[in-house]
Amino acid sequence: MESNGASPSIALPLLALSSFFFALAVSVPQITEAGLHCNNSTEIVTSNNFSFRAVMREISESVADQRRGNYSVTSPPPVVYGLAQCEGGLIEMDCPLCFAEIRTRIPRCLPNFGQLYRDGCFLRYDGYDFYNETVDPTHDMLNCSSNSTVPAERATEFSERVDRVLRYVLAKALQNGGFAVAGEDAPEGAVGVYAWAQCWSTLDAGGCRVCLENATSMARSCAPGEEARAMNAGCFLRYSTTKFYDLDSRGSSEVSITKAVVPIVVAIAPSAAVVISLVLIGAWIGYKEYSKKKRVQNSLMQLRASMSKFRLYFKYETLEKATNFFHDSRKLGQGGAGSVYKGILPDKKVVAIKRLVINTQQWADDLFNEVNLISGIQHKNLVKLLGCSIEGPESLLVYEYLSNKSLDQVLLVNNATRILTWEERLHIIIGIAEGLAYLHGGYGVKIIHRDIKASNILLDENLTAKIADFGLARCISPDKSHLCTGIAGTIGYMAPEYLVRGQLTEKADVYAFGVLVLEILTGRKNSVYTQGSSSILQSVWKHYKSTNLAACIDPTLQGKFLVLEASNVLQIGLLCTQASMELRPPMSRVVEMLHDKDQVVPQPNQPPFLNASVLFDISSSRSSTCTHGY
Ligand SMILES: *[C@@H]1O[C@H](CO)[C@@H](O)[C@H](O)[C@H]1NC(C)=O
Ligand SMILES: *[C@@H]1O[C@H](CO)[C@@H](O)[C@H](O)[C@H]1NC(C)=O
Ligand SMILES: *[C@@H]1O[C@H](CO)[C@@H](O)[C@H](O)[C@H]1NC(C)=O
Ligand SMILES: *[C@@H]1O[C@H](CO)[C@@H](O)[C@H](O)[C@H]1NC(C)=O
Ligand SMILES: *[C@@H]1O[C@H](CO)[C@@H](O)[C@H](O)[C@H]1NC(C)=O
Ligand SMILES: *[C@@H]1O[C@H](CO)[C@@H](O)[C@H](O)[C@H]1NC(C)=O
Ligand SMILES: *[C@@H]1O[C@H](CO)[C@@H](O)[C@H](O)[C@H]1NC(C)=O
Ligand SMILES: *[C@@H]1O[C@H](CO)[C@@H](O)[C@H](O)[C@H]1NC(C)=O
């Protein structure tokens, strides 16, 4: 199954199916990565190449229908052969998930050919007809676990068990059309062995035998290691001491050598004994039911997580069309990481699509992980990331669309058309504080934004602040030259310890937030570039010392604000911009102070007055003049 633009439409049928499948099986998704081999010798295909795209599209559709597919394009060049397959032990539900996972790894290999193994599925695309290939001395992989928990005196016995199970799974797979699982539970004090074998569908029976015979003898050499994976050109074989597949769920292909035998002893016994055993049997059945329910619940949660991931994929073509092929008239802005376009999805939903300038392979991986992480984050004060496309010629991020402008366009532009009232400003400040507090821990993971500034705050129609561009700094920073969200941050908002020593903690965000508060209240940009002119930090601090804070409030408000309230918020801004990061309050504390108007705001220490000429040098060597929006 491929990515999908109108993503919910794909998830819903899956969801409907899930209740059906859970009645049958409890699955542990078998989709962790097992191996990857990229042909790095020549540059052969690119992801927007006609052949490559045609092959990927066809095998995606075929995998969705039949769990496997092979397709090739021999003209125009380059020649591309593709093969993908979900393995027999993978339940229906997990096949699209596994395939989606594997597809996102392709950028690792592009523009070269690649061979990607997961525990439950496989994908290969290459420049020649490899469909009949069984073993390949140069590329076959054997991964033995280095660890053995098998005690030395048991090693021989264990190796024999491995041998038995592997012979059995091989024989069964050959009888069974290329797939089987087999297992042997262990007697008291020893470990069991479980195995899974799968040939690719393009091999005939003879080829499958050659491949699996090789794979089993390779894997056997890993014993007494507790786990092995043989990844051959034509098949995949795994054994493990943990039962990594679910016996109950695959009745027909399942083979179990030693069945647990539950002896039922029927005896003529006193009626009391009969009653007791009935009760015990009842309790036992109840317990089995209970633990099964529990397992269902656990795997449901896992699946939800995987599904929400799955919904994140967008087809490149869909987004291309949504933006009218990135037409200039759709352009919303130019950010540091790329330009942003307004897009209309097939279901008429309006989104903002960010086209990223950097698109290296390693980076696409990082991006994907990051997207997975931050897409789970939902907060009213954070711009929502809807998904991404990373398989096309360039990486795209899809965000919710906000009709209003960014804060700097509303606040800091001379002759701005609207003047924000005091209440609106306070609403915006509280929104930013809550969004940041959430990023700093409300979600369970701590995310440091690194680039809080007016242009990264978007406003919706109710003037609710939404923080944009969070979470991506980590994967963008390796390439500083392109971006303003990397180490450089934005001069004027950068905490002294970060600027001078590169020391990054969430307190750097607190500092930037403090600067932003002072900007919003004074209506002035924190200019540090112009020699001689004092920064707003300096002038607010001066007013604070002369206990006349309210005098720095934006004159365009014409005094329409409560003096005490305004002084308190300014003082909070000063608290956040203190030179010592230990003294700056955490964002959760800031939120409390903003909400509780009766609280006494602590006395701030002096903010750092950084030497403008020093900053000038830094700013010219690091580009940090981007404007964002998204
Ligand atoms: C790379 O792919 C080409 C064409 O498929 C093949 O001839 C070559 O042997 C491969 N080289 C490596 C190192 O995988
Ligand atoms: C390319 O492949 C060769 C042999 O397969 C390997 O030795 C080399 O490390 C690879 N280079 C990269 C950059 O992956
Ligand atoms: C596909 O990519 C190759 C190499 O990058 C290039 O030579 C070829 O012209 C491309 N073909 C098409 C149809 O884009
Ligand atoms: C898939 O592979 C089989 C076996 O090699 C081959 O006969 C068939 O033509 C292939 N199908 C496509 C669409 O390439
Ligand atoms: C399995 O195939 C590989 C080539 O992929 C070969 O080097 C190895 O000797 C074979 N092993 C056995 C036991 O046949
Ligand atoms: C072998 O598998 C383990 C996980 O099972 C993985 O961490 C490791 O990187 C793999 N080794 C190779 C060489 O692929
Ligand atoms: C090896 O096993 C020990 C104990 O079972 C475990 O603590 C350790 O993390 C394992 N190491 C690896 C590389 O799996
Ligand atoms: C595939 O290889 C086997 C030998 O391993 C051979 O008998 C068979 O004819 C081949 N099939 C095709 C379609 O090339």
Give the residue, by CA position, lying nearest to ligand 5 atom 5.
Answer: 137
Closest ligand to Cα 208 = 8
80 Cβ inside 6 Å of ligand 3: no
Distance 203 CA to ligand 8 centre (A): 8
Closest ligand to Cα 75 = 3
129 Cβ inside 6 Å of ligand 8: no
76 Cβ inside 6 Å of ligand 3: yes
- Domain 141-245 shares a fold with domain 316-400: no
Distance 147 CA to ligand 7 centre (A): 6
**Rounded Cα distance, 324 and 340, in Å:** 13
Instruction: Quote the DSSP letter at residue 106.
Output: G
Distance 39 CA to ligand 1 centre (A): 6
Q: Can you list the residues of the chain whose pLDDT is less than 50?
A: 1-29, 247-290, 292-308, 361-362, 473-488, 529-532, 612-630
**Rounded Cα distance, 245 and 590, in Å:** 50
**Rounded Cα distance, 415 and 571, in Å:** 28
Sequence-distant (6+) residues with CB within 8 A of 13 are: none
Instruction: Classify the phi-psi angles of 479: left when phi > 0, otherwise alpha if psi is within -120 to 50, otherwise beta.
Output: beta
Residues 141, 142, 147, 149, Cα dihedral to 10°: 140
Question: Which atom of ligand 3 lies nearest, measured to the CA of 76?
Answer: 13
Instruction: Choose the residue to mutate in 47, 48, 49 for probing ligand 3, maximizing ligand atoms within 8 Å of C-beta.
Output: 49
Give the residue, by CA position, lying nearest to ligand 6 atom 13.
Answer: 143
Question: Which atom of ligand 1 lies nearest, measured to the CA of 139?
Answer: 14
Pairing, β 193-199 against β 179-184: antiparallel
202 Cβ inside 6 Å of ligand 4: yes
161: number of Cβ within 10 Å:
24
How far from the centroid of its chain's Cα atoms is residue 182's Cα? 34
The CA distances from residue 622 to 201, 259, 491, 496, 509, in Å, are 54, 68, 10, 16, 19
Asked if 227 and 158 count as a contact pair (C-beta separation under 8 A), the reply is: no
Distance 72 CA to ligand 4 centre (A): 8
- Edge-to-edge strands, sheet with 338-344: 331-334, 338-344, 350-356, 396-400, 385-389
Asked if 87 and 99 count as a contact pair (C-beta separation under 8 A), the reply is: no
201 Cβ inside 6 Å of ligand 4: no
Distance 125 CA to ligand 4 centre (A): 13
360 Cβ inside 6 Å of ligand 3: no
Sequence-distant (6+) residues with CB within 8 A of 144 are: 221, 222, 225, 227, 228
Closest ligand to Cα 53 = 3
8: cis peptide before it, omega within 30°?
no
Distance 381 CA to ligand 8 centre (A): 61
85 Cβ inside 6 Å of ligand 4: no
Enumerate the domain spans of the chain: 33-126, 141-245, 316-400, 408-620
Question: Which atom of ligand 7 lies nearest, measured to the CA of 149?
Answer: 5
Instruction: Choose the residue to mutate in 131, 201, 204 for probing ligand 4, maximizing ligand atoms within 8 Å of C-beta.
Output: 131
Instruction: Choose the residue to mutate in 135, 209, 212 for probing ligand 5, maximizing ligand atoms within 8 Å of C-beta.
Output: 135
Distance 69 CA to ligand 4 centre (A): 9
Instruction: Choose the residue to mutate in 146, 147, 241 for probing ligand 7, maximizing ligand atoms within 8 Å of C-beta.
Output: 147
Asked if 330 and 341 count as a contact pair (C-beta separation under 8 A), the reply is: yes
270: cis peptide before it, omega within 30°?
no
> What integer pLDDT is reported at residue 425 of this predicted model?
95
Give the residue, by CA position, lying nearest to ligand 6 atom 10.
Answer: 143
Q: Which fold has domain 33-126?
A: Killer Toxin P4; Chain A (3.30.430)
Question: Which atom of ligand 8 lies nearest, measured to the CA of 203?
Answer: 1
Question: Which atom of ligand 6 lies nearest, measured to the CA of 144?
Answer: 1
Distance 242 CA to ligand 7 centre (A): 15
User: Dihedral sign, CA of 600, 605, 608, 609?
Assistant: positive
> What integer pLDDT is reported at residue 369 of this predicted model?
57
> What integer pLDDT is reported at residue 148 of this predicted model?
72
**Rounded Cα distance, 73 and 79, in Å:** 6
Q: Does domain 141-245 have CATH number 3.30.430.20?
A: yes
Distance 37 CA to ligand 2 centre (A): 10
Backbone φ and ψ of 238, nearest 5°: -140, 140
Give the residue, by CA position, lying nearest to ligand 7 atom 14.
Answer: 147
**Rounded Cα distance, 126 and 84, in Å:** 12
Place of tokens 């969705």: 64
Pairing, β 179-184 against β 254-256: parallel
126 Cβ inside 6 Å of ligand 1: yes
20 Cβ inside 6 Å of ligand 3: no
Catalytic positions are: 451
Q: What angle do CA 167, 169, 173 make, to 5 degrees?
A: 120
Q: Does domain 408-620 have CATH number 3.40.50.970?
A: no
> What integer pLDDT is reported at residue 309 of this predicted model?
52
> What integer pLDDT is reported at residue 239 of this predicted model?
93
**Rounded Cα distance, 197 and 178, in Å:** 8
558 Cβ inside 6 Å of ligand 7: no
> What integer pLDDT is reported at residue 333 of this predicted model?
77
417: number of Cβ within 10 Å:
7
**Residue ranges around ligand 6 (CB below 6 Å):** 35, 143
Task: Give the closest residue to 343 by CA, choosing from 324, 329, 328, 357.
Answer: 324
CATH for 316-400 is 3.30.200.20
Give the residue, by CA position, lying nearest to ligand 1 atom 12.
Answer: 39
Give the residue, by CA position, lying nearest to ligand 5 atom 7.
Answer: 137
